[in-house]
Amino acid sequence: MALVSVEDLSIVFGGLAALSGVTLEVDEGEIFALIGPNGAGKTTVFNVLSGLYRPSAGRIAYAGEDLLRLAPHEIARRGVGRTFQNTEVFRQLSALDNVLIGEHARLRSGVWSGALALPWVRREEAAARQRALGLLGRLGLGEAAGVEAGSLPLGSQKRLEIARALASEPRLLLLDEPAGGLNPTETRALMAVICSLRDELGLTIMVVEHDMDLVMSISDRIAVLDYGRKIAEGKPREIAADPVVIEAYLGRDEGGA
């Protein structure tokens, strides 16, 4: 069953077609990679899916609903979580507080009513804290809970961003270049984390990534974008052997994701 169904999606920025007629379906429980050279339109797909960009044309169904009728906060409430290509943690807050901010998007009490110290608010806060600590542990950041996020190594900041996205209990998680800037050891740890989110939490995951080892080993299916058009889609083995992909992308020296 498709959780996300993107049909004929186009978006134009000042005369430049960033996406042209892109159609793709992502099944519930799938790890689906979007790859392609820089500027191909990968982040733009995520920005449309999270409601930040309005497309010029096309339709998107998410869990049976018309996603393009929803505001960004409504999309988030329906379980679309994401991370950003440029890591965006709150640098001066602790790792734990970074995750709690993700939880507050969902809690009844909100960020400020905690100050009222009503019993149910305090119970909710305590439960939120436990969940946040659990998420940090899942992402290998258990020791870093009290550490200022900005002082963590990049690999940890990237995992912290994923923990924060998970705090809102997403059903669909969009990861934009999660391995960007990571060393091979950190990348391998990240791959295990991503697979566990699908295998243990049942998430559907869309990932944009430059690291071909990561893409080829964790993805169920891959779509390739080039100049805003989808030029190929298939299983990793099919994509790696597709002459159109090799010509348009994998064969180019400049790299890209």
The closest residue (CB) to Mg ion is 43
Listed in sequence order, the residues at least 6 apart from 99 whose beta carbon sits closer than 8 Å to its beta carbon are 132, 135, 136, 160, 163, 164, 167
Instruction: Based on the shown chain and the rule CB under 6 A, indicate whether residue 168 belongs to the binding site for ligand ADP.
Output: no
Q: Which of 21, 29, 39, 79 binds ligand ADP (CB under 6 A)?
A: 39
Q: Which stretch binds ligand ADP (CB under 6 A): 40-48, 72-80, 91-99, 147-155?
A: 40-48
Tell me which of 9, 20, 33, 42 binds ligand ADP, using CB under 6 A: 42
Find tokens 């049976």 and name the residue.
64
187 binds Mg ion (CB under 5 A): no
Binding mask 57-86 for ligand ADP (x = CB under 6 A): ------------------------------
For residue 104, the minimal CB distance to Mg ion (Å) is 28
* Helix or strand holding residue 175 (H, E): strand 172-176
- What is the nearest approach in angstroms of Mg ion to the Cβ of residue 42? 5
Scored b (16 or more CB within 10 A) or e, 122-137 reads: eebbeebeebbbebbe
DSSP string, 3-71: EEEEEEEEEEETTEEEEEEEEEEEETT-EEEEE-STTSSHHHHHHHHTTSS--SEEEEEETTEEGGGS-
**What is the rounded (10 degree) CA torsion for 65, 66, 70, 76?**
50
**Which residue, chain included where needed, has tokens 């733009």?**
44
Looking at this protein, which amino acid is placed at residue 84?
F
38 binds, among ligand ADP, Mg ion, none (CB under 5 to 8 A by kind): ligand ADP
Residue closer to Mg ion by CB (options 35, 163) is: 35
Q: Are 209 and 35 in contact (CB under 8 A)?
A: yes
43 binds Mg ion (CB under 5 A): yes
Query: Which helix (DSSP H) or strand (DSSP E) does residue 125 occupy?
Result: helix 119-138
Answer yes or no whether residue 20 interacts with ligand ADP by CB under 6 A.
Answer: no
Among ligand ADP, Mg ion, none, what does residue 130 contact (CB within 5–8 Å per kind)?
none
Q: How far is the CB of 251 from ligand ADP (least distance, A)?
A: 18
- With CB under 5 to 8 Å by kind, the binding choice for 204 among Mg ion, ligand ADP, none is none
Does position 159 interact with ligand ADP (CB under 6 A)? The reply is no
The count of residues interacting with Mg ion (CB under 5 A) is 2
Give Cα 100 to chain centroid, integer Å: 18
Binding site for ligand ADP (CB under 6 A): 13, 16, 18, 36, 38-44
